[in-house]
Amino acid sequence: MSLSKQEEQLAYELSCPICLQLYSDPVVLPCGHNYCQNGQTLPRCPECRKEYQGVETLQKNFKLNCIIEGFRATNLSS
């Protein structure tokens, strides 16, 4: 399966900066950055270094999760 340039860019944008894969159960940090739920264990954002109150305070990013599921479904059917 060959991805177009636009699909490659979208896959890049939908990838976790920690594990470098498409997000899996993404959570949003208070600073606005997103990570896979299992990928973040420190109380500090790896991108901007802003501290937060720990992983139990993070909320699942439902909208991002839906976008990723749609992207996967579209690319699997191609």
Q: Return the ∠ at Cα 34 (arms to 27 and 56), rounded to 5°.
A: 35
Class of domain 5-73: alpha beta
Average pLDDT over residues 46-68: 90
Of 61, 13, 16, 63, nearest to 3 by C-alpha is 13
- Find, among 37, 14, 15, the residue nearest to 26 by Cα: 37
Query: Higher pLDDT residue, 41 or 30?
Result: 30
What pLDDT score was predicted for residue 16? 92
* CA distances, 47 to each of 16, 39, 56, 73 (Å): 11, 13, 19, 29
Give the residue-averaged pLDDT of 10-35. 92
